[in-house]
Amino acid sequence: MTQQTYSWTDNPTVAGESVCNTDILNECLMHLKYDNGAGKDGFLLFDTKITDRILSGDEAVGWALQGSLVTMAYPDAVNKIKSLYSESYETTYRGITCKKTLDGRYIADISQATEIDKLYVNTGIADFYILDEINEQFYLPKNNWFHQFTTDTEKINAYNAPGIPDHWHYVDDMPNTKDRPRGDDRTNCTTYYETKQTRLASECNPIYGASESVQPPSSNKLLYYKVGDTVINSDSALIDAQELLADGFNQIEDKINTGIESLSNASTALTQTQITNCITEIPQRVNVGINNGILTLKAGSVVIVPYGTSEPALEIGAALNGGEIVDISWDEQKLFYYVKYDEDITTDYSGHTNDNVIVYLQDTGNLIYENVSACYSDSAKPSVSTYNTWYDTTSNTIARYTNTGTLEFQNCSLPICVGSLLEGTGITLIKNIFNGFGFIGSTIWCDKGVKGLVPNGRNADGSLNNIEITNQVITTFARTWSVVEGQTQQISCSASSTDIKADYFYEAYLEQDTFPNKQGHIMLYNRRENKHYFQDNNNSWRECPSIYIGFAQNTSASTIGQMQDLNTYQTFRALDYSSFKNTPHIVETYKNGSSWYRVWSDGWIEQGGLAEIKNTTVNFLKSYTNTNINILLTNKNDSKTEVSVTNVTTNNFTAFRRDTDNGNNLGGWSFWRACGY
């Protein structure tokens, strides 16, 4: 969102008309409630509730049964899990590669879902949040064991296998004699001698001796008591790591609250706030996932099939390519059918070589891939001796050819995604999912139903004016000029009264109040005027009604315009307070392993990492302007050690851990976090 503009005005307008949407107000208040305090019934996100009834109606809102799939219908929960996953450290727990949060949760990637399901079947417990980051959803943990309470924070969520103490028992030759002790085994001897044998019960069943006391299958949980809202600690050395971090986070929360104060009267804020130069809605037709290298097009997905240049001969509801037509795009020149699939479609690419590939559907309804460098779009068939996929821009059809030039498939779909293919494994990463925008070869398209706000100057009172555009049909644009190998180009969509077309490719995108003294193909958003200008081959500026959408990267071995990557900005969500121009917002982020930082628009810097603290100098990733810096270190949860920070400068600090009894320097590793200007 950093290259889009959101501004304050006294009166929000769309196409010159004043608006105040109460639905947006309600969404705003919902986000503030769950992000900054208790939600429904005073519970925070991921608190649990044990009930003796099935929740339904209003009572069930905000609650999900263990093991359930949580989607963007609950955006705060999804975004929280995504945030925790990115900030936590990697570990292996119960054989599963996952992330462990500072407060003891385990979060696994969707690629581990099958193994976690097996773990649940075999043991009855799977205390993992399973994150499907691509589709922005996650599964909740589940278990059917008892809960066993503990005070040891290191054992939270650990599982306890069933067991009972071992004991000796008797093998008795006179089982019916009064008061004679009996064990688990008895013989039927016919003699009356007082002979007997002893044997450990564990020799008969391994559950005996598995524990020192009776132990049912259970998982460890912490039991807390609510005692109020204020905690006072005079000796920070005695505060455990989680409490220490929580105290430090208050400063960050205060910083965020500065922005929230501007929304204290939400109805007033809505009458003052306006957005411009952004996509506001994108149809979500494609839902894909990967698991152990296998790619799946999820049931319910809709793909787009280019089908010539004649008017539609098939109607909605007709069968096509193994699916059902659910929509049609026809602009009197090009025809596209929208085909829905009601069952999952999977494919295994593990036997193929490493490359970046596009994935699409054959006319048989099966998934197939093609290397991005072997995808073409032109009016003439490519003359190559390799397998290739060709979008014929004249006939508006997609076909695949063998290395001898023989037609293999025709009437294929537009690509659904771009993935990274690893030999022996399959698809390991989905780089782009083509919802709203996509590409094949040197052609880019914009889907029907995409909505956006086009900058259109200012109103008489100085407030921003926009034109709201909804794309009525699919629009395509093919680059026919030579390009630089591997070059990244910015993209904007030109906008008319009825459609949005991604047809501006250029070297740089700028947002500023004046025209730059710079030559070349440049798109300028003039903030003062609220208009777009494009600099052409003659270095002349001309007004250009358009919306900035992102950038594309050319393939590394081609100069004919083929693309290998497309990065478009997400749709704007009203009242996302980190995006307002007049409110401090994040302008730069970085993460590499345990090291990370965030830079805010007003200069506030948050950063952290993992460091050895044996009287060691720890360097900041980003320098501060002064030494008024809050620095937090994690420590063991005991009273025998303490961590300290000394020699704080704008560039680094010194940290150590020592024994409180004798003062010896203990060293070790610690997570650190710092914030300040």
Query: Does the domain at residues 584-676 carry the CATH identifier 2.60.40.3940?
Result: yes
Q: Is the pLDDT of residue 267 over 80?
A: no
Name the DSSP letter for residue 93. Answer: E
Name the DSSP letter for residue 42. Answer: G
Beta carbons within 8 Å of 394's beta carbon, 6+ residues apart: 309, 379
Q: What is the C-alpha separation between 145 and 647, in angstroms, rounded?
A: 50
- Written as six digits, the tokens of 645 are 């920070």
- The pLDDT assigned to 416 comes to 95
- The pLDDT assigned to 475 comes to 92
Average pLDDT over residues 423-436: 84
- For the chain, counts of helices (H) and of strands (E): 5, 55
Task: pLDDT band for 49, please (50, 70, 90 cuts).
Answer: confident
Report the sign of the C-alpha dihedral through residues 61, 66, 68, 74, in that order.
Answer: positive
Bigger pLDDT: 68 or 176? 68
Contact 367/347 with Cβ under 8 angstroms? yes
- The pLDDT assigned to 259 comes to 52
- Written as six digits, the tokens of 94 are 């119960």
Contact 156/140 with Cβ under 8 angstroms? no
200 forms bridges with which residues in the sheet?
168
Q: Is the pLDDT of residue 177 over 70?
A: no
Q: Is the pLDDT of residue 18 over 50?
A: no
Q: What is the mean pLDDT of the chain?
A: 77
In this predicted structure, which of 38-52, 92-106, 366-380 has the lowest mean pLDDT? 38-52
- The pLDDT > 70 percentage for the chain reads 76
- The pLDDT assigned to 350 comes to 65
C-alpha Rg value of the chain to the nearest Å:
31
- Written as six digits, the tokens of 650 are 């704008």
Average pLDDT over residues 207-213: 75
What are the phi and psi torsion angles at 645 (to 5°)? Answer: -125, 130
Cite the DSSP H helix spans in 548-669: none
Which amino acid, residue 175?
Answer: P
- The pLDDT assigned to 597 comes to 93
CA distances 617 to 196, 212, 633, Å, are 72, 47, 14
- Written as six digits, the tokens of 511 are 């947002």
- The pLDDT assigned to 110 comes to 95
Nearest to 555 by CA among 371, 327, 406: 371
Contact 546/538 with Cβ under 8 angstroms? no
Q: Over the stretch 592-633, which tens digit does the pLDDT of each residue have? A: 888 999 888 778 899 999 888 888 899 999 999 998 898 888
Cα 62 to the center of its chain, rounded Å: 20
In this predicted structure, which of 232-241, 397-406, 520-529, 577-586 has the lowest mean pLDDT? 232-241
553 forms bridges with which residues in the sheet?
488, 565
- The pLDDT assigned to 557 comes to 57
- The pLDDT assigned to 12 comes to 42
pTM over 0.95: no
Bigger pLDDT: 341 or 47? 341
Domain boundaries, the chain: 37-161+219-224, 163-215, 288-426, 445-576, 584-676
Contact 413/360 with Cβ under 8 angstroms? yes
* Neighbour-count burial of 190, counting CB atoms closer than 10 A to its CB (0-12 exposed, 13-18 middle, 19+ buried): exposed
Q: Is the pLDDT of residue 577 over 80?
A: no
CA dihedral 424, 430, 431, 435 (to 10 degrees): 150
Bigger pLDDT: 65 or 91? 91
Task: pLDDT band for 634, please (50, 70, 90 cuts).
Answer: confident
Q: What angle do CA 277, 278, 283 make, to 5 degrees?
A: 150
In this predicted structure, which of 158-167, 176-185, 499-508 has the lowest mean pLDDT? 176-185
* Strands of 546-554's sheet in order across: 500-506, 488-495, 546-554, 563-568
Task: pLDDT band for 558, please (50, 70, 90 cuts).
Answer: low
Contact 277/324 with Cβ under 8 angstroms? no
Task: pLDDT band for 272, please (50, 70, 90 cuts).
Answer: very low
Cα 319 to the center of its chain, rounded Å: 35
Q: Over the stretch 223-246, which tens digit does the pLDDT of each residue have? A: 665 444 433 333 443 444 445 455
Name the DSSP letter for residue 352. Answer: S
CA distances 467 to 20, 482, 530, Å, are 16, 33, 12
Helix (H), strand (E), coil (C) string for 359-395: EEECCCCCEEEEEHHHEEEECCCCCCCCCEEEEECCC
- The pLDDT > 90 percentage for the chain reads 27
In terms of average pLDDT, the best of 348-362, 500-514, 522-536 is 522-536
Compute how many other C-beta atoms are within 10 angstroms of the C-beta atom of residue 451. 18
Q: Is the pLDDT of residue 640 over 70?
A: no
In this predicted structure, which of 68-72, 114-118, 406-410 has the lowest mean pLDDT? 68-72
Q: What angle do CA 20, 23, 24 make, to 5 degrees?
A: 70
Q: Is the pLDDT of residue 185 over 50?
A: no
